[in-house]
Structure 1
């Protein structure tokens, strides 16, 4: 009799047995405002098995928040809720490791550097529903705890990216990239960019940020050695949103939306390195999140269904042929492919 074990490498290079959630697809369901019923589903494409509410299943308590982001770093999975907390779980079994549950307002994303957590936060709304007191919260430990410092940044910080001791901040409202020295815990440089920067990603070893406005999308890369601008791309994609997925052959899938009252949505496909532009790869209404499974070369497109009940995920081959669909939780908005 032969026994076959699956192993994963940790950040330390150590091999360890794979947990039941170390493979497959994690589906982030944002949840409905007021109900705070955000949760994570797990999907196994090999068996087509969908498991609902795995945080509650493994911890015997509901997640109880609006789920904004899932960040896998340092052998930990950080579940960022814009209702004022971060839950930290073991990615293999989803058991709770710790949390940040105080002194946060509207967290958006997270990065780790110098053994600390850096959490982007809109801060509180003022009487005009503006966010003039946005910040990056610092927690001195990877397993959560108290906020030790709040670093003032431009309004509405979104995605974060750590490179060495530097943490890049996408300042969406004021079109700025702010760079924090994680050791000094202060902003050491600010770079102006076009559009609303919302998402960092790596391509060919370079760090890029994706930005957009009503008529165009923009991609800006950076020199990581001297923290300056490198390459710039501008493409005529109108009505783009902040939802993107990195596909095969350096293609990028972007959700577009006309918004109210038409609610005409689509998926555009662009490339950083040639003139490829498919303005309407898919069209419809209610598109809310998108992801790309590099291993299977499949696109996962979500529909929030107007937040009237559960959302759906439809899976496509990269040529556009539908593979299947599934009902998931409220407001499905993102994926983590393991």
Structure 2
């Protein structure tokens, strides 16, 4: 089986090659875009990061009933604005959606219902990665200087910079605290805990090599580590930041990735297979729900489990638009769509 390091080494090498490919341009006269929908509610935003070094990031939308699909909605609604270079992630607070645009060093804010632009944040950002909202503020991880920057969620004013001094990646708010994953590209084993009242680091949690996913359910934080040696799911009580349980996966499921929790089920991927376990299970089956064609690093470039469905994207090596497939929880194909370049995430807007 391929190791994480092998896969990410290929990703780095291919990223250089992709500079030579022409990206799909949002102003291409050969493309006819529909009028904006009346509202982008009761559906899923699909974030398309675009080609690295080219400002062709975009957002697609599909309704929950899978009947309505619209591509490049940021441009459709805001034709005079460019989303930017590498749309990394999205977050929400009240009526606003925050789109983190990594290489452009900005956050575009839109109304989550109409997708009309509301403003842009640039102050203090240094290759931003992920965003989370808590108590009227948004917290953003910055990969080039290992900080978390804090902004007013309504005025967009910069309020503080928190030095973490180690890798910062995914970020979660739970039980009145902020948790930052200190791992990326298959390397790292720690989670930093931040007190948002003082903007100070209060704890560092060791959860296991190959940390790649964190997610909250209730007051429990779940962390998936998938290394070459072993994969495991760690459960953390956010009342006292103590590890309360660890589930070690079978040896056949090393390098597990892409954890997502839907209801009482934990989903994850390994290789080109999708797997699941109950949120309170103490063992894990190595029988996959379904598999997808293996397309090197761009397999499962985006993955999410939302309301009984599983959303999967194949980035097609970044030389073509992504192919998104929506499955039932049993692995039946429900819909397939062609989205933008490099679809990397799925965000429900209900």
Normalising TM by the smaller chain, what interval? 0.7 to 0.9
Paired position in structure 2 for 1:316:
327
Matches within 5 A, 1:273-292: 273-274=280-281, 275-280=283-288, 281-286=290-295, 287=299, 288-292=301-305
CA contact under 8 A between 1:118 and 1:137: conserved in structure 2?
Answer: yes
Which residue of structure 2 lines up, in the alignment, with residue 41 of structure 1?
60
Cα distance, 1:180 vs. partner? Answer: 1.1
Distance in 1, matches of 2:254 and 2:269, equals 10
From 143, 157, 171, give the equivalent of 1:160.
Answer: 171
CA contact (8 A) 1:88 1:97 kept: yes
Gap change, CA 1:189 and 1:47, over 3 Å in 2: closer
Does the 8 Å contact 1:216/1:235 carry over to 2? yes
Q: Distance in 1 between matches of 2:255 and 2:305?
A: 21
| Shift in Å, 1:315 | 1.8
Count of aligned positions: 300
Q: Distance in 1 between matches of 2:273 and 2:165?
A: 30
Distance in 2 (alpha carbons) for counterparts of 1:74 and 1:112: 9
Q: Is the 8 A contact 1:160 1:168 kept in 2?
A: yes
2:155 matched to 1:135? no
Work out the CA distance in 2 between the residues paired with 1:33 and 1:323.
31
Partner of 1:72: 92
**CA distance in structure 2 between the partners assigned to 1:114 and 1:291 by the alignment:** 26
- Other structure's SS at 2:77 match: helix
Q: Hey, what's the Cα distance between the residues in 1 that align with 2:188 and 2:309?
A: 35
Provide, for residues 239-266 of structure 1, a one-character-per-residue CA deviation record: whole Å limited to 9, x for no partner: 333x233246x33332334xxxxxxx33
Q: Identify the range of structure 1 (317-326 vs 146-155) with the bigger mean alpha-carbon deviation.
A: 146-155
Task: Give the Cα–Cα distance (whole angstroms) in 2 for the partners of residues 43 and 161 of structure 1.
Answer: 25
Shift in Å at residue 147 of structure 1?
Answer: 3.6
How far 1:218 sits from its partner (Å)? 2.3
5 Å matches for 1:61-210?
A: 61-83=81-103, 84-123=105-144, 133-139=145-151, 141-143=152-154, 145-172=156-183, 173-203=187-217, 205-210=219-224
On the 8 A contact 2:215/2:260 being kept in 1, the answer is no
In structure 2, distance between residues paired with 1:326 and 1:115: 35
Alpha-carbon separation, structure 2, partners of 1:334 and 1:218:
23
Change (3 A) 1:225 1:66: same
More strand, by proportion:
1
Closer/same/farther in 2, CA of residues 87 and 177 from structure 1, 3 Å limit: same
The equivalent residue for 2:244 is 230
Q: Counterparts of 1:82 and 1:73 in 2: how far apart (Å)?
A: 20
Q: Distance in 2 between matches of 1:216 and 1:100?
A: 40
2:274 to 256, 267, 283: 267
Q: Which structure dedicates a bigger proportion of its chain to helix?
A: 2
Maintained 8 Å contact 2:172/2:216: no
Tell which has more relative contact order, 1 or 2 (C-alpha 8 A, sep 6+): 2
CA distance, structure 2, for counterparts of residue 74 and residue 195 of structure 1? 36
SS at match of 1:284: coil
Q: Which runs of 5+ in 1 are unaligned?
A: 1-17, 124-132, 258-264
1:244 aligns with 259
75 and 45 in structure 1: CA distance in 2 versus 1, 3 angstrom threshold: closer
3-state SS, counterpart of residue 31 of structure 1: coil
Structure 2 residue runs of 5 or longer lacking an equivalent are: 1-36
Q: Could you say if the C-alpha distance between residues 47 and 234 of structure 1 is closer, same or farther in structure 2, counting changes exceeding 3 Å?
A: closer
